Structure 1
Amino acid sequence: MIIILFGVCGCGKTATGLSLSSKLHWRFEDADKYHPESNISKMARGEPLTDEDRWPWLRLLHIMLAKWHGDNQDGILACSALKKSYRRVLLTGNQSGNGNSLDQHCKLVFLHGSADVIASRLDARSGHFMPTSLLESQLTVLELPDKEENVLQCDITESTDQIVIHIINSLNLT
């Protein structure tokens, strides 16, 4: 199984992914490390990414997920995946949704919380290229998951440990 943790910057994708990875002994990757330098520089300057900035990055992540699946490797990916079309590219490799779909092998987990909680987390962290000023643009771009996507939702006001337990129990990973 592959778990894709998604949500806006500062929602706890990396912390949750690392904790979940530790408990399950699964591979963990943070999608941020796969951004090209041009994307990182743009975000560091406080400029939001465009769809055109994101498509190649998302297709690269799909290739990685497909390799995990092909190697029968369980894993966890932390990725913003703000729009439904972005999540579709992660699962199929293209925007149309046609292609080698990983739907049956991936579970999407949406980490969500209020803008105030997320902003306070962003203000408190250091050493990350994503400034708090980009939160508003991410919230504007965010498309909440619909029933068709069959997404597990986790409220980030819970502790990381509680979220991890919720994911493990909800996905029957015990």
Structure 2
Amino acid sequence: MTRAGAPAHVVVIGVSGAGKTTVARSLADATGRRFADADSFHSSAAKAKMAAGVPLTDDDRWPWLERLRDWMTARAAEGVPTALACSALRRVYRDVLDQADGEVLFVLLDAPRDVLEARVTHRPGHFMPADLLDSQLATLEPPGPGEHVLVLDATRGPEQLARDAVDGLGGPT
């Protein structure tokens, strides 16, 4: 169960290959949060565009981010805390998600390019090709003043990262 005073929403962010889905799912399991992967909120057109190696534009992203924000708000209205895996590479994207009802904590998984490339290259069945990694790294804006972001070293194993994220929330009850 989630701890009293813990954020309503935890959004695990970073570039492709950082481990967002694995960590967010583990965090959800450990804390009783509802898990969602932002990739499942992309339109078919956006997925096809990325699969073709074409980076998304902000025009592609705004409706997607709004769907994610609205999903978190709906869960907050139900009293259900969430764990969301989402790239949210730019501050303006995180600002949209931060508009969800309830407190939002972002957990940035940070790793060197070579680690990320190895993970993306060896990940079967995902629509995100490795050749988009450079555009994601170029887009990534480090957390700035006023952002509620916990930064974790994504070279650590997924189990340890999930424990670090739980610790960053104050631990499970």
**TM-score scaled by structure 1?**
0.91
Matched, 1:131 2:129: yes
SS in 2 for 1:10: coil
Q: Match of 2:44? A: 37
CA distance in 2, matches of 1:171, 1:20: 10
Where 2:162 maps in the other structure, the secondary structure is helix
User: How far has the Cα of 1:162 moved from its partner?
Assistant: 1.1
Aligned to 2:98, the other structure's residue is in SS state: helix
**2:88 alignment counterpart:** 81
Secondary structure of 2:155 counterpart: coil
Structure 2: which amino acid aligns with 1:89?
Answer: V
d(CA) in 2 for partners of 1:72, 1:25: 12
Q: What is the total number of aligned residue pairs between the two structures?
A: 165
Shift of 1:20: 1.4
- Write the mapping of 1:1-174 to structure 2, written as runs, cut at 5 A: 1-92=8-99, 102=101, 105-174=103-172
- Identity level (%): 39
* CA distance in structure 2 between the partners assigned to 1:38 and 1:17 by the alignment: 25
The one-letter code matched in structure 2 to 1:139 is L
After TM superposition, which residue ranges in structure 1, 4 or more long, deviate above 2 angstroms? none
Instruction: Name the counterpart of 2:3.
Output: none
CA RMSD of aligned residues (A): 1.1
Matched residues in 1 for 2:64 and 2:168: separation?
Answer: 29
What letter matches 2:142 in structure 1?
L
- Give the conservation status (yes or no) of the 8 Å contact 2:104–2:148: no
TM-score by length of 2: 0.92
TM-aligned CA deviation for residue 62 of structure 1: 0.6
Measure the CA separation in 2 of the matches of 1:54 and 1:69: 23
